[in-house]
Amino acid sequence: MSSEVLQLDHRPCSAGSSGSTRPLVSICIPTFNAAAWIVECIESALAQSYPCLEVLIVDDASTDQTVKLIHAIDDPRIRLEINPQNIGLAPNWNRCIELARGDFIKFLFHDDILYPDCVEKMMQLILSNEQIGLVFSPRDIILENAPQDELTRIWLKNCATLHTRFRQLEPVNHGKDLFAQYLREGFRGNWIGEPSSVLVRKRCFSSLGMFDSKLRQVCDVEMWLRIMFFHDIGFLPEKHSAFRLHGDSTSRRNLTSKKNFLDQLWLIESLSNCPPIKAEYPEIEGVRALELLRLAKAVLFSPIAIGRCVRTDPVARQGLRNLPGWIKSAAAYSVSKLFSRRNSDRSSTAKRLNQA
């Protein structure tokens, strides 16, 4: 892919108090038609107190004034790459990761903002423990021209505060403990936050893979779960960023169009295709069975919207082709679970008779 480079800061990173060089952080801003917000977004990235960073902007073939506005910002830390054609949301996130030069990735979406000490605070925590793969914190919500309808009210009720769904959070948390809590709730919802709320070691993507482009709404959640299984998770209780909800936000478009109707099944497919996860948590198949029932209900209540997605979205058609295999896998697990429970009941009964 061709790219356009504005400027790159080649100056060495400043040394910390110990005299060692601070690691480079790539603030990655994937953009598409972001003219309304991009200047405020970039200014929040450039205002970071952490000195050793690049601001990598990957524009996904915007058709508005986004690129022109980026050109107008003169700062040597900015690097702009332009995709010659639109590749879509998750693929553009992945392109950011591929192009990033830092050892740590700090995503910032084009309509969100970071508070000045965000990167510094997150880096202090992640550098304190080599086992931490991801650090997250709560975020503020900016409501901008968001329709005052039922969908907005439901989103605010469910998504304004996310981290409290975990039982308890410490500065450093054993990732598998958090994964198990998530599993018990069927992997429903986002308990971590959007990418603007997160800082990740780049090597996590190298070892675990990139964002799954089949997912429309929860590709970030699926990635966080993979990192959670293999790494510890850092948590900062203070808010260090702001998420903007507006009428044209991706989250809202996905929810109204039903493009995400197969997301949970794709999420479970991705996790179950990871042998260590499947071996340790075979009950993921039980979650798949519940999601198949939810899918049937969704088709019943929104047949027109889902039918439109199937006609226009090849990923949706691929999901429907996978349905027989998903149903077979979930049914096999349910049957084995039933026989296991019966055998357990018989053993308990026999034990009680012998004791009598």
Q: Residue 337's pLDDT is what?
A: 78
Q: What are phi and psi of 110, to 5 degrees?
A: -65, -15
**How big is the CA angle at 150 (ends 146 and 151), to the nearest 5 degrees?**
60
Output the pLDDT for position 191.
Answer: 97
Q: Are strands 104-107 and 198-201 parallel, antiparallel or unpaired?
A: antiparallel
Quote the pLDDT of residue 1. 38
Entry pTM? 0.86
Neighbours of 49 (CB within 10 A): 11
Domain range annotation of the chain: 25-248, 263-355
HEC secondary structure over the chain: CCCCCCCCCCCCCCECCCCCECCCEEEEEEECCCCCCHHHHHHHHHCCCCCCEEEEEEECCCCCCHHHHHHCCCCCCEEEEECCCCCCHHHHHHHHHHHCCCCEEEECCCCCEECCCHHHHHHHHHHCCCCEEEEECCCEEEEECCCCCHHHHHHHHHHCCCHHHCCCCCCEECHHHHHHHHHHCCCCCCCCCCHHHEEEEHHHHHHHCCCCCCCCCCHHHHHHHHHHHHCEEEECCCCCEEEEEECCCHHHHHHHHCCCCCHHHHHHHHHHCCHHHHHHCCCHHHHHHHHHHHHHHHHHHCHHHHHHHHHHCHHHHHHHHHHHHHHHHHHHHHHHHHHHHHHHHHHHHHHHHHHC
Q: What gap in Å lies between CA 356 and CA 354, rounded to an integer?
A: 5
> pLDDT tens digits, the chain, 356 residues: what are they?
333 333 333 334 643 333 446 789 999 999 999 999 999 999 999 999 999 999 999 999 999 999 999 999 999 999 999 999 999 999 999 999 999 999 999 999 999 999 999 999 999 999 999 999 999 999 999 988 666 777 788 888 888 899 999 999 999 999 999 999 999 999 999 999 999 999 999 999 999 999 999 998 899 999 999 999 999 999 999 999 999 988 776 666 666 667 788 999 999 999 999 999 999 999 999 999 998 998 898 888 888 888 988 898 898 899 989 989 989 888 888 888 776 665 555 565 555 556 65
Q: Is the CB of residue 105 less than 8 Å from the CB of residue 205?
A: yes
Could you tell me the two tokens for 344?
């357990």
Cα–Cα distances in angstroms (integers) from residue 22 to residues 15, 88, 197, in the given order: 6, 33, 21
For 296-317, letters b (16+ CB in 10 Å) and e give: eebeeeeeebbeebbeebeebe
Strands 140-144 vs 113-114: parallel, antiparallel or unpaired:
unpaired
From the list 57, 75, 76, 77, the residue with the least C-alpha distance to 67 is 57
Q: Which one-letter amino acid corresponds to residue 54? A: E
CA-closest candidate to residue 255, choices 216, 204, 212: 216
Contact by Cβ (8 Å): 321, 267:
no
Burial pattern 165-196, b for ≥16 Cβ within 10 A else e, equals ebeebeebbebbebbeebbeebbbebbbbbbb
* pLDDT (0 to 100) of residue 18: 39
Q: Among all chains, which residue has been given the structure tokens 């409501």?
A: 143
Question: What's the pLDDT score for residue 19?
Answer: 42
Question: Does the CA dihedral 142-247-90-9 come out positive or negative?
Answer: negative
* Single-letter amino acid, residue 62: S
Domain 25-248 classification at class level = alpha beta
